Structure 1
């Protein structure tokens, strides 16, 4: 099971790492578990397997947390306050660190995943307000575009119009790595006073065709990654992962949605100019 999303890509590893019960000498076939104090073999504790509904419910919960904290940050963190840069950079750094920890350690606890959603909500709320003041109505357009694309990809996957074949997976992952590397390279050159022309970091002045095309390419790639994510979740359900992994799946989908939202917001700001 392979996904372009580094979070969901680890579901296959999790499925393969599910522990097998230790054998017990003399126990009847099918038990394989330690005996109780009375010498009677005990069956394994029931662990409910993850379902698609579990992933959907937890994804909605994370989106709700992100939206609530985004609205609070929008409404209660003044633009002229000294708290603003702390909120932006604090939520950015803390969210990045927490996201990496959750991803690489395969953490399935909502005690860490929910705070990640809250931190992302604070960052989204503050930055989105800045875009909204510069381009009225842009935030609702970006939100509609994000969930519209997500819904379209879900329908296409459900109808099997798009499937995560090995060739499709390699193409999408290669494209994703390419656009991320180019974006980082453009920003690093920009820090030294050189702009490669792939990005525009101001909110005034005209925008050439290259940043718009590059942004459209990223949006297409981000949309296609959802096909791989849906397949990764489906494989996780098929492998019978415990229901706690539904939080991990929801976290991965949230990461993809936020990535898509930021890029749509950027592209709309280009078109407004």
Structure 2
């Protein structure tokens, strides 16, 4: 999961100001009304009763309390957090079930692993480019990804005992660390850093695809390019770094979405996009620790 088309789409839309006017009054919405046949500059000549009524309406508007996010159904940070926790709960539940089934019946490991990876990738692109937000599909992705992670984690744990708990703890630490660094302003996401990140990400994706093909065709063995040598470990460290910075980009996009007043339903997509990045980070950390143990 080395890409995040969900946030890529929102980044482009937010940069173009696509959501800038959601829930906001249009320019001139509260301009002084004109009498039929009366130029705007002649409003001062309107009957006194009409002027008084307009003035009262204007004062009522200014004195009324601001509409809350719940009333306008705009997305809040709390919406994204709650949706994310719910999706991760589904992922962990299905991951635990897949681990248990693979432990009882090892022949299920490969089907769960490959099937979960392929179906999960398909769901990522369907959800990302679907014009209508579909919570059921997003929940289905969490379940499918849980099956994939349960199977792959059981495989790595069998080969390298203790590596899964290391990867889980490291993922949580990286997530909390990036969250703290971003929201304290230590790490800033700029348009320039986004471009550099996307170029590095594209390069890594192309490398990963070529590396996987070489391993599957038997040209390379083990981990592929670099294998478990120092170069291989550096490649994994680079991938972990990309996934970690991707979290900062995700946080920035979520924050911009909240500030732009996106509809509440988009919190599902934001939570989904964040989950894609966290899953990618976990898999890269799992590979890194396994490579280090394989020396």
Supply the distance in 1 between the matched residues of 2:187 and 2:215 (Cα, whole angstroms): 37
Q: 1:107, 1:248 within 8 Å by CA — same for their partners in 2? A: no
1:103 corresponds to: 128
Distance 1:220 1:81, change over 3 A: closer
1:77 deviates by 3.5
2:254 corresponds to: 233
1:85 deviates by 3.3
Select the residue among 202, 209, 222 that pairs with 1:184.
209
* Aligned residues: CA RMSD: 2.7
1:221 corresponds to: 242
1:93 deviates by 1.9
Note the 1:1-273 alignment, pairs <5 A: 5-12=4-11, 13=13, 16=18, 47-78=72-103, 80=105, 82-195=107-220, 200=223, 207-273=228-294
Question: Cα deviations across residues 217-252 of structure 1 (Å, max 9, x unaligned)?
Answer: 010111011111111111111111111100000000
Question: Cα deviations across residues 58-94 of structure 1 (Å, max 9, x unaligned)?
Answer: 1111111000000011112456455443323322222
In structure 2, list runs of 5 or more residues that go unmatched.
Answer: 24-28, 31-70
- Structure with the larger helix share: 2
Count of paired positions:
245
Supply the distance in 2 between the matched residues of 1:63 and 1:20 (Cα, whole angstroms): 29
1:162 deviates by 1.1
Supply the distance in 1 between the matched residues of 2:86 and 2:228 (Cα, whole angstroms): 37
Supply the distance in 2 between the matched residues of 1:171 and 1:19 (Cα, whole angstroms): 30
TM-score normalised per structure 2: 0.76
Supply the distance in 2 between the matched residues of 1:191 and 1:119 (Cα, whole angstroms): 23
Supply the distance in 2 between the matched residues of 1:20 and 1:130 (Cα, whole angstroms): 47
Question: Cα deviations across residues 19-68 of structure 1 (Å, max 9, x unaligned)?
Answer: 989xxxxxxx66xxxxxxxxxxxxxxx64100011101111111110000
Please state whether the residue corresponding to 2:261 is helix, strand or coil.
coil
Supply the distance in 2 between the matched residues of 1:74 and 1:185 (Cα, whole angstroms): 29
Supply the distance in 1 between the matched residues of 2:22 and 2:283 (Cα, whole angstroms): 42
TM-score normalised per structure 1: 0.81
1:33 corresponds to: none
Please state whether the residue corresponding to 1:16 is helix, strand or coil.
coil
1:167 deviates by 1.5
1:168 deviates by 1.1
Which deviates more, 161-170 or 184-193?
A: 184-193
Point out the structure with max Rg over C-alpha.
2
Distance 1:112 1:52, change over 3 A: same
Q: 2:87, 2:139 within 8 Å by CA — same for their partners in 1? A: yes
